[in-house]
Amino acid sequence: METTAEMRWFWNSPSTPELERWFFGGAFPPGGGRTREDRYLIDLGQAELGIKSRGKTSGGEIKGLVHRIPEPVAIKNIPGHPQIWSKWTSKAIALDSMPTLLLKKKRLIRRFQIGDATVREIALGENESPLASESESSKEGCTLELTEISFQSSATPWWTLGFEASGTLPSIEKNLRRTVIHVAEDGIPLPADAIELSYPEWIDLIERSL
């Protein structure tokens, strides 16, 4: 089981040039950039549980909401509301006969390693893992993700920007807040129509609008 502290926004746009310039303004070029297909279970009205099959990996992934943190992250133009999620994987889960939404994703990732007094960005490769020159021994950290999402019924792609902090249960909320402060001193140029949602909430929104 993996437990994380997260915040995420979605919007529908053919491009996001201002945000992309900001995202590429870190200490290293973002990692990732490859395209993969994930299949999500459609479960209308469900905002606390997400089930998906990831890329070509067998089995499935279950992600459940544990807690909504009442204190927002008030960093200039980011009224973020952190959530605690837990994740489990199982090779016995199959979505083949279930109603699903197939998403094609192109993810860019920045990764931050968090120490007692520092937040340090590390270099990542196309596989989203630290480069050989990096030693990420600590599990205390946070990823910042910018992903372009396309699916069959959408004329223009959707985008999502998400923070996902890892570490121990007592530390993950602090890791999330420290990373947001580290990267957002000048504000993050989110599009005006960006909506703060989790993946289950967004999928519910998409399916109800079809």
Residues 101-118 pLDDT 10s: 999 999 999 999 999 889
Question: Residue 159: enclosing H or E segment and its boundaries?
Answer: strand 158-166
Start-to-end CA span in the chain (Å): 34
Mean pLDDT, all residues of the chain: 91
How many domains does one find in the chain?
A: 1
| Full residue range of the structural domain in which residue 56 is found | 2-209
Residue 18, SS3? helix
- The pLDDT score that the predictor gives to residue 175 is 97
Per-residue tokens: 65: 């909401």
> Is pLDDT of 191 > 80?
yes
CATH code: domain of residue 9: 2.40.320
Residue 63 has pLDDT above 80, yes or no: yes
pLDDT grade, residue 137 (50/70/90)? low
Nearest-CA neighbor of 81 among 99, 67, 98, 64? 67
Q: How far apart are CA 123 and CA 129, in angstroms?
A: 8
Phi and psi, residue 63, nearest 5°:
-130, 125
Please answer whether residues 24 and 101 qualify as being in contact, where contact means their C-beta atoms are separated by less than 8 angstroms: no
Q: What global pTM score does this model have?
A: 0.93
Residues 148, 155: Cα–Cα separation, whole Å: 13
Question: 87, 199 in Cβ contact below 8 A?
Answer: no
**Res 79: pLDDT:** 82
Nearest in space to 188 (alpha carbons), one of 163, 169, 207: 163
Provide the 10 A C-beta neighbour count for residue 4. Answer: 21
Classify 140 as helix, strand or coil: coil
Q: Which of 152, 144, 162, 143 is nearest to 11 (CA)?
A: 162
